Amino acid sequence: MSTGGSQPWLKSASQLSLGGSSAVFENGIFDWSNSFFEIKKRRQDEEGLISKCEERKKILESVKSRKDELHKEMAQLKEQHLSHNVFLKSKDTDQMLKKAEAE
């Protein structure tokens, strides 16, 4: 079946291609309802993927925030550890000084 010169929108089944999902009535006119449902399904799939993407972005932001918090805590702990070492050294120095004075 060939396309009519006065109706270029009419195509035969062999001329229609939707990636393997062509839908044609018996008379060769394109079945718009199947195409509509296919488009609707793909849009729903796209919306689902977009929502998953947004959800994962939020999770990633949360992880980055927690990572920053942990880095701050590590820096504080290192600082406390260093100050504690300085305290212990000064305490040892004081004890050694007292011991030397006593002798």
- What pLDDT digit, counting tens, does each position of 19-32 carry? 444 445 555 566 67
Average pLDDT for 74-102 = 81
Domain coordinates in residue numbering, the chain? 1-30, 34-103
Residue 54 token pair: 């947004």
Predicted TM-score of the model (pTM): 0.49
**How far is the C-alpha of 37 from the C-alpha of 23, rounded, in Å?**
11
Q: Identify the bridge partners of residue 24 per DSSP, sorted by sequence position.
A: 30
CA distance to 11, 50, 54, 72, per residue, from 62 (Å): 53, 18, 12, 15
Q: Which residue has the higher pLDDT, 50 or 19?
A: 50
Amino acid at 14: S
